[in-house]
Amino acid sequence: MADRLTQLQDAVNQQSENFCNSIGVLQQFAKPTFFPEFDKTSSKSPTTQTQSSEDFAQLFSTLIARTAKDIDVLIDSLPSEESTPELQSAALRRLEQENNDSAQRLGETVKRGEELLEQIQSALQDIAESQLKMQCLHSSSAATDDSPSNGLNNSTNN
């Protein structure tokens, strides 16, 4: 992300584009003005595009107002000239302390997450082992039920 001065410059550039585009729209949709010294008549008939010109006027007025508000916010976020080096260093110390506190909380959260991950992995391993044991028991009991000796005993008893 860009710093505040770059953001401000981008906003000013955007505002200048908005102004230029709005002037272009005004030139495109404005009704011709006749000057008494200029007798040459235009062969073009004026087109009636009032709806689109009103739409453009609304669009550009909204864009210009929004960009102006963004510029005001960016200007207000810049450090003031009244800020002394002592105030700036105090603000930096405060920010460093907040950063250290956040880093400590992040470390604790990561440690807790790793502990939970180990518990989950252990539980999943126990579940997998239990399923394997159940499959072994099920397959061994199915094998004893389907053994040929049981089938022979039944046929000889008949």
Largest CA distance in the chain: 131
> How is residue 97 written in tokens?
């302390």
pLDDT tens sequence across 14-65: 999 999 999 988 888 878 787 777 766 555 554 555 667 788 888 999 999 9
In angstroms, the CA 89 to CA 97 distance is 12
Mean pLDDT of 136-145: 82
pTM metric for this prediction? 0.45
CA nearest neighbour of 113 among 102, 101, 121: 121
Q: What is the pLDDT of residues 7-28, one digit of tens each?
A: 999 999 999 999 999 998 888 8
pLDDT value of residue 104: 97
